Structure 1
């Protein structure tokens, strides 16, 4: 009987039901988006290291060094001399040392010089770089380039196309170099910052026309794989605490996680706003049903006269509020999918990191359950009013 009462009431007040459920859907979508993007960003960014354990660079901020060498977002804090690179490359604790050089772009897309050996490194455990069919890696000493999947897609490039770099990390149409590079391959998508980069031979950046000839052998940073985790602590002590010339950023994941800890207040503010919107939306259920109680009193009284118990009427009103909350929470997934797709697209465009917002997250069950609970709670006030409807007085004709 309760389910039948709920269905009839929802159908009778269809417009207010749709409007109220719509507001809950927006609130649920916002909460899901904020929560999923927050948790996924923290885990994905902290796990993004392009397959390396540490970064060595000029003296400066560890975070700046990681953002520059791994995420390709920051400027280099300075250059390392060739002797410094050779010294770390030959260190017995180092398994792999890949130098990179930055300082050029193509219409805002960063150009990074490196060695072909970079593409032999697993960017994730068990995941190797691969080029699209028909392509090949560039050779050292050539004017060739390998382009990340996302950059190539946005630029409309394919193997065989040519381009001329521009000086600096910011695009300036007046700063175009004379050198012309030929694209030999497009990398398969990796879901990492590598996808946004145009890769050329290391010497290409070092000796590009217009660059300081005195820095022809310098590198911007060195990407490092260690032979053992303990080596990282040893090098951190030797380079960061005992030296004053270079910076050893290790471990990469902890440095990125520290960044998220520093800006955690932003997540807290967004989450608080989402909960406030959720509370307001849930309160709208209370207002919607409560305002309709005057029109419903006679119907409730008739039901009571026909044998319906007070608790049945009470349960029907609370159930109606819960169903509205459930409808809104379910529709909230559609809102979430739209919001999350836009946010994930922006993050990929700016960083190259790919989020998977539809991947299972615990909020997918406790979020809707919370909304249903809040709406049911909001339905208690009108339910109490319905419980107290006087049968005789309400049914009695008005003279």
Structure 2
């Protein structure tokens, strides 16, 4: 214990260099813990992009492709699903609710999704959180109502009552616009940090109205055009949709219904479990995740090398100090332990400061990160894995401290009470 007190006194005598070293270690430890916490919470948030949905059903393709276009609005479906197939599955005694999804149009680079009122009631995300309207109301009072995601409204500076024109296809710049059927913004959703924020939501009937006068993928011309008022008077029951989400009455029935859908005779369908597909997708992104973690480890290593450099640099100035310690009875292992204790004290102070910086940063950025990226960073005690990372930093500091300690051990006896210049 007296060696540790002596080490602290020695560091206090070189407080400026010691503080800089502690701060460097603190920043590297804070970065390592922040990367690990963001990495783990991002994974949890990614897995909860969609919550409470038991099955996602689309045209038969790959599970990741189905997940990407139905949940993340990335890519396109290989084929549509007949409305009759959706109705058949929806009427199954195992199904509690179903949300139809129709994709294909866009607005200034943001995807347009046709759905119905069940979307606002049953679509959940995160920790089973329901969608909330920041302003306005859901669509439904008029055929050409649109509800915007938070990012769409913010990026394009839209407000309630604005009229917008949707485009055919999903390109950022589209040459074919539905200018004859403008939509009115009636609602803006609260931020979720999910693809919902980047989506424009309209009714299935509204999606049908956009294409009611289209033939073979081409809009009609002249007298064949149908105006917005004419469309309002029409029966716009959809004939096909892109995909649909299912909530079941019992989780036990999930695999049974999945098998029934995958073996459906009416048309080739694919039913996937969102959680399983999300894990598959995350696995594909694992390389970037690991690379980020490795970079943070190298930052920690850089901080510890800075500590090693500071101690080694001071050794030449402290050779008389070591020799005096030997002359008053200190044994070689005392000198060795003193240097190791200094390294450990610097690392311990750096780890403690780094942990404090982490919690200050989380407290300051928690709301912003959750609102904009959908990642909830809890102010919780370090996990067992985070403690092991901190323990690894201290162990690495001890090992690095052995380098200057060994040099001091070898030099202290030979130097005597004089320093060779």
When the two structures are superposed, what TM-score results if normalisation uses the length of structure 1? Answer: 0.83
Q: Report what 1:323 is aligned to.
A: 345
Once the two structures are TM-superposed, the CA of residue 346 in structure 1 deviates from its matched residue by 9.3
1:278 aligns with 2:300: yes
The equivalent residue for 1:366 is: 388
Q: Report the CA distance between 1:221 and its aligned residue.
A: 0.7
Q: Which residue of 1 aligns with 2:64?
A: 63
How far apart are the structure 2 equivalents of 1:360 and 1:155? Answer: 40
Looking at structure 1, the residues matched to 78 and 6 of structure 2 have their Cα atoms a distance apart, in angstroms, of 69
Quote the offset at 1:241 in angstroms. 4.9
The answer on whether the counterparts of 1:167 and 1:176 sit within 8 Å (CA) in structure 2 is yes
Q: For each residue in 1:51-71, what CA deviation from the matched residue of structure 2 results, as whole angstroms up to 9, or x when unmatched? A: 321111112112111222222
Q: Quote the residue 1:207 is aligned against.
A: 209
Deviations 1:148-182 (A, max 9, x none): 23332333333222222222222115443212211
Residue of 375, 378, 396 corresponding to 1:354: 375
Which shifted more, 323-332 or 377-386?
323-332
Structure 1 position 185 matched with structure 2 position 184: no
Check if 1:85 corresponds to 2:106. Answer: no
- Could you report, residue by residue, the CA deviation over 1:195-220 in whole angstroms, capped at 9, with x for unpaired residues? 33221111222331588457953211
Residue number among 112, 130, 133 corresponding to 2:132 in the alignment: 130
Matched, 1:148 2:149: yes
Instruction: Measure how far apart 1:376 and its partner are.
Output: 2.0
Show structure 1 runs of 5+ residues with no match. Answer: none
**Which SS does the other structure have where 2:240 is aligned?**
coil
- C-alpha deviation, 1:381, in angstroms: 2.1
Map 1:197-346; keep pairs closer than 5 Å. 197-209=199-211, 212-213=214-215, 217-241=239-263, 245-306=267-328, 310-330=332-352, 332=354, 334=357
Match of 1:376, SS?
A: helix
Aligned to 2:108: 107
Q: Distance in 2 between matches of 1:298 and 1:335?
A: 40
Question: Residues 50 and 70 of structure 1 are in contact (CA less than 8 Å); yes or no, is this contact kept in structure 2?
Answer: no
Greater displacement, 168-177 / 13-22: 13-22
The Cα RMSD (Å) is 3.6
Give, in whole Å, the separation in 1 of the partners of 2:69 and 2:320. Answer: 71
Q: Deviations over 1:272-308 (max 9, x none)?
A: 4433443344244333312331221112222443555
TM-score normalised per structure 2: 0.80
Q: Distance in 2 between matches of 1:389 and 1:167?
A: 79
Equivalence for 2:226: none
Are 1:96 and 2:118 matched, yes or no?
no
Tell whether the 8 Å contact from 1:61 to 1:247 is kept in structure 2 after alignment: no
Tell me: CA distance 1:105–1:242, structure 2 relative to 1, closer, same or farther (3 Å). closer
- In the TM superposition, residue 23 of structure 1 has moved relative to its aligned partner by 4.6
CA shift for structure 1 position 143:
0.9
Deviation readout 1:104-156 (Å, 9 max, x if unpaired): 222222221110121111615764333235x2211165211122233323333
Query: 1:361 and 1:220, CA in 2 relative to 1: closer, same or farther beyond 3 A?
Result: farther
